[in-house]
Amino acid sequence: MNIANKITVLRIILIPVFMLFMLIDIPYNMEIALVIFLIASLTDKLDGYYARKYNLITDLGKFLDPLADKLLVSGAFLIFIQLGRIQAWIVFIILAREFAVTGLRGIAANKNIVIAASNLGKFKTVIQIITIVMLFLNNYPFSLINIPMDIVFIYLSLFITVASGADYFAKHIKAMEHNV
C-alpha cells in the first residue's frame, strides 16, 4: 500500500472518530469534531497530490478515494439529522445520488468504461464540505447578522448534488448503450 492510499485509509479511520465526538457530551465536542472533520477533508487533496506527483495511482486508490469522500460526507450529514440541523429528506436525496452514481460507475466498469470524477462532481464535494462546516458552526458568525447561511448552503448543496448526478447520467448512459 502506497502513501496516497495510506492517507485515504487515514481519512476513513477519522470518520467514526469525528462522528463520536459529535455525539459525546464533553466540553468542546463539536469543535474537536470539526477539527477532525477538516483534517479528514484536507487529506483528500493530500492523497490526490501524492498519487499524481509520484505516479501512485492504483485501482485500490481509485476505489477507496471516492468511497472515503462519500463516507465522510454521509457520516456528517447523518449525525446532523440526529442533531436536528438538517432534514432527513435532503440527506436522502444526497445519498440517493451517491448510490446512483456509484451504481452507474459499476455498470460502466463492467463494460470497460471509466467514469472519472467530473468538475461538477468535484465542486459538489466541496460545496457539501462547506455545508457541513456551516452546520458544525451552527450558522455562526452569520447568525450575528441574521443571515441563514447554513440553510442557503444546505439547499445549494442539494441543488448541485442533483445537478451533478443528472450530469453524470446524461453524459454516460448513451455511451454505455452504444457500448453493448
**Alpha carbon distance 134, 54 (integer Å):** 34
CA–CA dist 90, 157 (Å, integer):
9
Give the pLDDT score at 77.
98
Q: Which helix or strand (DSSP H or E) is residue 151 part of?
A: helix 149-178
pLDDT of residue 94: 97
What integer pLDDT is reported at residue 48 of this predicted model? 87
127, 133 contact by CB (below 8 A): no
What H or E segment, with its residue span, contains residue 137?
helix 119-137
39 neighbors 17 (Cβ within 8 angstroms)? no
pLDDT of residue 145: 77
Q: What is the 3-state secondary structure (H, E, C) of 64-120?
A: HHHHHHHHHHHHHHHHHHHCCCCCHHHHHHHHHHHHHHHHHHHHHHHCCCCCCCCHH
Q: Which residues of 102-128 are buried (b: 16+ CB within 10 A; e: fewer)?
A: eebbeebeeeeeebebeebbeebbebb
Euclidean distance between CA atoms 56 and 42, whole angstroms: 18
96: number of Cβ within 10 Å: 13
Cα-based angle 40, 162, 103 (whole degrees, multiple of 5): 75
Task: Walk along the chain (180 residues) and give the pLDDT tens digit of each residue.
Answer: 899 999 999 999 999 999 999 999 999 999 999 999 999 999 988 998 999 899 988 888 888 888 899 999 999 999 999 999 999 999 999 999 999 998 888 888 788 877 777 899 989 999 999 999 999 998 677 767 787 888 999 999 999 999 999 999 888 887 667 665
